[in-house]
């Protein structure tokens, strides 16, 4: 959540920031109106409680009927105002939770993905020539033919947007997990297998229960628990309500989890195959840093994403995300898009966001400054491998003329072979 004092002291800045993210700037005015009412009630309560304290002193000396009557009326009045304050606080928090994080001042301004900017490319796209009798196949036809993917049986068992990974694809999944953990542990990351369910109040603190984001989550009402859409969602709260020593930052975690998404806003998109599914596995990075170091840390996480992709020798590009296409909680975001020859386009496989203190304020994660003050850390998250999409990228880029798929050198020991088929 945003700093309440920032909204109070610089509402125009907040309005400009959230408007860049296509949020309604009138939310700021609504917040300030309710906040002013709340502050008025708080002031009135303080005054009434001071009066109550003085009256208690008088009653301790002499219990007169008029004093007792005044005390009873005062108690009732305090109770009424406390209830009004509580109602206003709930209303204020509801509005606050609808206000997204504001982007850093120098973030690209744009309405949608068309405003994003490619900042670099890496790798050589494989060349498939129809003249040589070799037209590239899409991953699904390759996966089905080689016994690696079964979406038909998954549909019978679980419905649409599910898939079985089988044989070498299953081995490839755990190879990718081990590869990511090996590289990231060498960089000082702490390995974690986090919970895949999260309490609603904690999820709200992470800024993930607003609008379309909430609609995309699976909810278990009897338990008031949500299924996570990324390991990020429970990696952050690992430090909830805690204070770091400054010397212990940055603190970096790498987590592996199954992720669940309803894909509520994706009707009609990527309905076939395993590119956009309700359940998938992912390796995720999460970092806590000092505010002055978070931009540097962001670049470091992106460099690790590139290192992992280069280990697989997959062609990709790094994209700077504009304000209108940015994640709700992000202050700056980069994506990595990998080339898929079967679709003849780049598709997103990685995302990396600096959320500044938006999430840490929501879950109360602080650190001690050199002066001994307690300040909110910044939080960053980034994909290491989204398993399904990475396997898709491997199948399409490593396919051969004979209809086989070569295994990337970095995964051969895990898969146990150099070629599938």
Question: Is the pLDDT confidence value at 266 over 60?
Answer: no
Homologous superfamily, domain 113-420: Bira Bifunctional Protein; Domain 2 (3.30.930.10)
C-alpha distances out from residue 414 to 91, 117, 177, 281, 399, Å? 53, 36, 10, 17, 19
Task: Using CA atoms of 261, 213, 320, 105 in order, give the dihedral in degrees to the nearest 10.
Answer: -160
Contacts of residue 129, Cβ cutoff 8 Å, sequence gap at least 6: none
Q: Look up the CATH architecture of domain 4-96.
A: Orthogonal Bundle (1.10)
Pick the catalytic residue from 85, 161, 251, 261: 261
Q: Is 351 among the catalytic positions?
A: yes
The pLDDT of 310-318, averaged and rounded, is 98
For residue 364, the SS3 value is: coil
For residue 213, the model assigns a pLDDT of 77
Q: What sign has the CA pseudo-torsion 164, 168, 174, 180?
A: negative
Which residue ranges make up each domain of the chain?
Answer: 4-96, 113-420
Q: What sign has the CA pseudo-torsion 32, 38, 39, 40?
A: positive
CA proximity to 241, closest of 39, 90, 376, 95:
376
The tens digit of pLDDT for each residue in 269-308 reads 666 788 989 999 999 999 999 999 999 999 999 999 999 9
Q: What would the two tokens of residue 339 be?
A: 């080339």
The tens digit of pLDDT for each residue in 125-137 reads 998 876 666 788 9
Pick the catalytic residue from 136, 351, 353, 393: 351
Pick the catalytic residue from 85, 161, 332, 389: 389
Tell me, yes or no, if the two domains 4-96 and 113-420 fold the same way. no
Whether the bond between 404 and the residue before it is cis, its omega within 30 degrees of 0, is no
Q: Is 261 among the catalytic positions?
A: yes
Q: Residue 82 and residue 270: Cα distance in Å, rounded?
A: 52
For residue 62, the model assigns a pLDDT of 75
CA proximity to 109, closest of 317, 321, 328, 298:
321
- H helix and E strand count, the chain: 14, 18
Q: Residue 323 and residue 100: Cα distance in Å, rounded?
A: 11
Neighbours of 193 (CB within 10 A): 9
The pLDDT of 92-113, averaged and rounded, is 95
For residue 268, the model assigns a pLDDT of 57
Q: Is 389 among the catalytic positions?
A: yes
Element holding 242 (H helix, E strand): strand 242-245
Q: pLDDT-derived band of residue 73, with 50, 70 and 90 as boundaries? A: confident
Question: Is the pLDDT confidence value at 248 over 90?
Answer: yes
Give the HSE-up count for residue 238: Cα atoms under 13 Å, Cβ half-sphere: 22
Q: Is 92 among the catalytic positions?
A: no
Q: Is 120 among the catalytic positions?
A: no
Q: What are phi and psi of 386, to 5 degrees?
A: -85, 110
The tens digit of pLDDT for each residue in 145-160 reads 999 999 999 999 999 9
- What does DSSP say about strands 365-368 and 345-354: parallel, antiparallel, or unpaired? unpaired
Q: What would the two tokens of residue 343 be?
A: 């679709």
Contacts of residue 30, Cβ cutoff 8 Å, sequence gap at least 6: 95
Pick the catalytic residue from 262, 276, 317, 406: 276
The CA radius of gyration of the chain, in Å to the nearest whole number, is 26
For residue 53, the model assigns a pLDDT of 79
Q: What would the two tokens of residue 338 be?
A: 């990998």
The tens digit of pLDDT for each residue in 390-414 reads 999 999 999 999 999 999 999 999 9
| pTM of the full structure | 0.92
Q: Residue 234 and residue 202: Cα distance in Å, rounded?
A: 9
Pick the catalytic residue from 37, 84, 89, 348: 348
């Amino acid at each position: 959540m945003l700093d309440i004092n920032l909204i109070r002291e610089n509402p125009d800045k907040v309005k400009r920031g959230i408007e860049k993210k296509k949020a309604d700037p009138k939310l700021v005015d609504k917040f300030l109106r309710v906040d002013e009412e709340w502050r008025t009630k708080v002031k009135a309560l303080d005054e009434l409680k001071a009066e109550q304290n003085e009256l208690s002193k008088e009653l301790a000396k002499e219990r007169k009927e008029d004093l007792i009557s005044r005390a009873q009326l005062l108690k009732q009045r305090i109770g009424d105002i406390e209830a009004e304050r509580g109602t206003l606080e709930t209303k204020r928090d509801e509005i606050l939770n609808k206000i997204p994080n504001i982007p850093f001042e120098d973030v690209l301004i744009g309405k949608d993905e068309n405003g994003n900017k490619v900042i670099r490319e890496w790798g050589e796209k494989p060349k498939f020539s129809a003249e040589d009798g070799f037209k590239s196949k899409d991953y699904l036809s390759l996966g089905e033919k080689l016994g690696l993917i079964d979406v038909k049986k998954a549909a019978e068992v679980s419905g649409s947007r599910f898939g079985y990974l089988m044989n070498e694809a299953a081995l490839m999944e755990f190879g990718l997990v081990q590869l990511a953990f090996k590289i990231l542990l060498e960089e000082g990351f702490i390995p974690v297998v986090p919970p895949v369910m999260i309490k609603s109040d904690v999820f709200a603190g992470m800024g993930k229960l607003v609008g379309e984001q909430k609609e995309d989550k699976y909810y278990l009402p009897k338990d008031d628990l949500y299924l996570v859409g990324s390991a990020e969602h429970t990696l952050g709260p690992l430090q909830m309500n805690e204070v770091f020593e400054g010397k212990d930052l940055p603190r970096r975690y790498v987590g592996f989890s199954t992720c669940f998404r309803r894909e509520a806003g994706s009707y009609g998109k990527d309905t076939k195959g395993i590119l956009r599914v309700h359940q998938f596995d992912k390796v995720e990075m999460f970092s806590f840093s000092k505010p002055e170091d978070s931009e540097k840390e962001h670049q470091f996480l992106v460099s690790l994403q590139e290192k992992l992709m280069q280990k697989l020798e997959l062609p990709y590009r790094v994209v700077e995300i504009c304000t209108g296409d940015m994640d709700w909680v992000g202050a700056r975001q980069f994506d990595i898009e990998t080339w898929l020859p079967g679709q003849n386009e780049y598709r997103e496989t990685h995302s990396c966001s600096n959320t500044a203190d938006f999430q840490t304020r929501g879950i109360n994660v602080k650190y001690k400054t050199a002066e001994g003050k307690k300040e909110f850390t910044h939080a960053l998250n980034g994909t290491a491998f989204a398993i399904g999409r990475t396997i898709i990228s491997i199948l399409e880029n490593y396919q051969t003329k004979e209809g086989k798929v070569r295994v990337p050198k970095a995964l051969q020991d895990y898969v146990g072979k150099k070629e599938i088929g």
